Amino acid sequence: MKSEIGGKYHYSGSSRSSEAKMICTQGEFRVLDEEGKQLAGARSREVKVSSRLGSVPRMVRFPDRSCFETPDNDGLDEWLKASGRGSGILSVLEGKLRYVLLLGLATILLLWAFVAYGIPSLAKVAAHQLPRDFLDEASDFTLETLDDLVLEPSELEEDRRKEIRSLVDATFPWKAESDYQLLFRRGGEDLGANAFALPNGVIVFTDELVGLLESDEEILAVFAHEYGHVVERHSLRQFLQDSAVTVLSFLIIGEATDTLQEALNALPAIFLHGAYSREFETHADDYAFRMLSEAGLSPKSLGDALRRLEEEHGMGDDMQYFSTHPPTEERIRRANEAEWLP
């Protein structure tokens, strides 16, 4: 730290000024003339110091209204800091740093809450208010895309298809026929044994799934799970949520990232069953447990179907019925427990 800083002393109440130096001893600022005679002095807390603005000389104003002017901004700042005073706007900001940090934290928390709770709630409301036309259009587009990309025409016997449709109709007679439509496709290499539900109630079973499931109960259980996705509008909600987050991040980060484009392509991808949230899968399982119980069937059959599908697909494959959370083990355990519920 400097022992003295040079500058000009402006006498109180006159335009007179002279060369002088300022020293700082024991928290006291003192201005001395060239002979060492004191011109002004005060404790550092009693002087007023102008804010630092680039290299503009600073004014130190004493209680007697005299002023010491110095271009030595760094020297003065060092003294002010040592005597417990920051300088200008920096010190103000330093003093308010905790509030700035708190405000930043509050903003992040609010944003997180909006993404975690606000968007899903809005997406739920929107998904349930979308008109039938929109659901049909979105569903047609999705099925066409999937037909182009991964699905092949079903090779299942017409009789077998009829049999499964009648089985579903007979087991869940309270479901209006217009509520759903059961279609069959070959899953091929990409999808294999699989099932998915489109927003308008079209539920697609792959031939491989029908071949894999060993009992009517298992087929009904998978149907009930997919029907749960339809009733809860999961596909649309997932789509709206994902796009909202993407659009939001686009607005905040301000970059037209690839993800924005990806969001627009997300609808078909969601039906490949890799994109449902853990919450949606759990809700669809719960819906299926209730639906099966109402039909006098055991929820355990969903667990059996899940087990079979897991064995078929193995673990770690991206595009499969169970790549989703929650893990199959947990879903099977819940199915087994649901059986004992009243």
For Zn ion, how many residues bind (rule: CB under 5 A)? 2
In this complex, which beta carbon is closest to Zn ion, that of residue 66 or of residue 206? 206
Kindly tell me which of 232 and 281 has the beta carbon lying closer to Zn ion.
281
Question: Least CB distance from residue 314 to Zn ion, whole Å?
Answer: 18
The CA-to-CA distance between both ends of the chain, in Å, stands at 81
**Consecutive H or E run containing 88:** helix 88-95
Minimum CB distance to Zn ion, residue 321 (Å): 8
Give the separation between CA 154 and CA 8, rounded to whole angstroms.
Answer: 95
Closest-CB residue for Zn ion?
Answer: 284
Tokens 């271009």, residue? 71
Closer residue to Zn ion in complex, CB, 163/330: 330
Shorter beta-carbon distance to Zn ion: residue 49 or 168: 168
**Binders of Zn ion in range 197-236 (CB under 5 A):** none
> Which span (43-51, 67-75, 168-176, 278-286) binds Zn ion, by CB under 5 A?
278-286
Give the DSSP per-residue string, 176-214: -GGG-EEEEEE-HHHH-S-EEE-TTSEEEEEHHHHHH--
* DSSP assignment letter at 16: -
Q: What angle (nearest 5°) sits at the alpha carbon of residue 314, between those of residues 313 and 319?
A: 55
User: Which residue, 240 or 306, has its beta carbon nearer to Zn ion?
Assistant: 306
CB of 287 to Zn ion, least distance (A): 10
Alpha-carbon torsion, ordered 75, 80, 81, 87, to 10 deg:
-90
SS3 content of the chain, % helix, strand, coil (to 5): 55, 15, 30
From residue 279 to residue 318, what is the string marking binding to Zn ion with x (rule CB under 5 A)?
--x--x----------------------------------
Closest contact distance (angstroms) between CB of 133 and Zn ion is 25
Part of the chain binding Zn ion (CB under 5 A), chosen from 67-75, 115-123, 250-258, 274-282? 274-282
DSSP letter string, 210-270: HHH--SHHHHHHHHHHHHHHHHTTHHHHHHHHHHHHHHHHHHHH----HHHHHHHTHHHHI
Residue with tokens 């790549």: 323
Q: In the bound complex, what is the minimum distance in angstroms from residue 196's beta carbon to Zn ion?
A: 8
Piece of the chain touching Zn ion by CB under 5 A; list 55-63, 167-175, 208-216, 277-285? 277-285
Name the minimum Å distance from CB 226 to Zn ion.
Answer: 7
Q: Give the whole-angstrom CA distance, residue 171 versus residue 70.
A: 93
Residue 281 or 310: which CB sits closer to Zn ion?
Answer: 281
Distance CA 70, CA 5 (A): 8
Residue (of 309, 297, 325) closest to 213 by Cα position:
309
Cβ closest to Zn ion, residue 208 vs residue 281: 281
User: Given the complex with Zn ion, which of 47 and 203 has the nearer CB atom?
Assistant: 203
CB of 216 to Zn ion, least distance (A): 20
CB 192 within 8 A of CB 312: yes
Instruction: Copy the structure tokens of residue 256.
Output: 């037209």
229-268 mask for Zn ion (x: CB under 5 A)?
----------------------------------------
To Zn ion, the closest distance from the beta carbon of 198 in angstroms equals: 13
Shortest Å, Cβ 205 to Zn ion:
13
- The residues binding Zn ion (CB under 5 A) are 281, 284
